[in-house]
Amino acid sequence: MDSLSTVLITYALSIFFILLLYFFSHMRYSRKLKDCQEDLND
């Protein structure tokens, strides 16, 4: 693998992991929000 491909993969992996964390944070928040709204409706 040449150096430029290594650089490209590094950048892709970096943004992937950061966005994965955002996705998990968002999912966790959405689930909690849904639970709270259901509790309020009950």
Q: Which residues bind another protein (CB under 8 A)?
A: 2-4, 6-11, 13-15, 17-19, 21-22, 25-26, 28-29, 32-33, 36-37, 39-40
DSSP state of 42: -
Query: Shortest approach of another protein to residue 16 CB, angstroms?
Result: 10
Q: What whole-number distance in Å separates Cα of residue 23 and Cα of residue 34? A: 16
Query: Shortest approach of another protein to residue 35 CB, angstroms?
Result: 8
Q: What whole-number distance in Å separates Cα of residue 37 and Cα of residue 42? A: 9
Query: Shortest approach of another protein to residue 27 CB, angstroms?
Result: 9
Q: Distance from CA of residue 12 to its chain's centroid?
A: 14
